[in-house]
């Protein structure tokens, strides 16, 4: 059953901006300030989770060092904002695909685990806020990904049935979230994840945003 694509909903980190390396830098720096030695692989364990959940995950392992969870969070966010403003770059092909979707009168949503301050920082840095009909952060929702709430709320606000929505995701948590919302999911894994078989639950796998055109059903 192929449904017309009535809305395309983007995840943010790793999908519209190449921010995963910046997240890893900010987390390694933030945790090291609290004497927790942290590797890039450690960062990957929590990709797609809300920052509060990431800190909770590590707090359980290092309760003495990471006592003040809010301070850790603020430190990471402040570092990340600086990095985004200095180094943030759109994912290759982003503007072309956003223009293509808009020209075909398909609605565009954003559903992210990131906090509002990061959404604002990224969308203004990339100068793309005007493309989005709805922007939903899981920050203040009851559940984060892999729960489907952030995608279901976005579809409801767009006034589009979830089955008519296509989602672009780069993390397993995000793919599970969108599939649970009964949406069509296209994965764009980062280079290190390209052979991870877990991505096979997606409806399609692409290596560049321009390939999205092949999956969008116009009529």
Name the DSSP class of 208. Answer: S
Active-site choice (13, 79, 115, 170): 13
Residue 164 designated active-site? no
Measure the CA–CA gap between 98 and 94, rounded to whole angstroms: 6
Measure the CA–CA gap between 25 and 29, rounded to whole angstroms: 6
Stretch (H or E) spanning 31: helix 20-32
Query: How remote is the C-alpha of 144 from its chain's centroid?
Result: 11
Contact 30, 75 (CB under 8 A): yes
Contact 110, 72 (CB under 8 A): no
CA distances from 53 to 67, 79, 143, 181 (A): 15, 18, 10, 21
Residue 11 designated active-site? yes
SS (H, E, C) 126-167: HCCHHHCCEEEEHHHCCCCCCCCHHHHHHHHHHCCCHHHEEE
Contact 171, 138 (CB under 8 A): no
Residues assigned a catalytic role: 11, 13
């Amino acid at each position: 059953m192929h449904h017309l694509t009535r809305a395309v909903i983007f995840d943010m980190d790793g999908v519209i901006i190449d921010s995963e390396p910046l997240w890893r830098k900010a987390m390694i720096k933030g945790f090291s300030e609290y004497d927790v030695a942290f590797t890039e692989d450690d960062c990957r364990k929590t990709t797609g989770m809300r920052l509060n959940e990431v800190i909770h995950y590590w707090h359980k392992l290092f309760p003495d060092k990471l006592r003040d969870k809010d301070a850790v969070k603020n430190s990471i966010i402040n570092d990340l904002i600086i990095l985004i403003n200095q180094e943030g770059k759109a994912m290759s092909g982003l503007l072309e695909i956003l223009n293509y979707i808009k020209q075909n009168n398909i609605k565009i949503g954003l559903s992210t685990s990131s906090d509002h301050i990061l959404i604002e920082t990224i969308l203004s840095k990339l100068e793309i806020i005007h493309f989005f009909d709805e922007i939903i952060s899981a920050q203040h929702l009851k559940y984060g990904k892999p729960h489907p709430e952030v995608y279901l709320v976005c579809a409801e606000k767009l006034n589009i049935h979830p089955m008519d929505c296509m989602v672009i995701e780069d993390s397993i948590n995000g793919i599970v979230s969108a599939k649970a919302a009964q949406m069509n999911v296209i994965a764009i894994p980062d280079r290190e994840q390209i052979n991870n078989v877990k991505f096979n639950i997606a409806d399609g796998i692409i290596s560049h945003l321009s390939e999205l055109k092949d999956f969008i059903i116009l009529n």
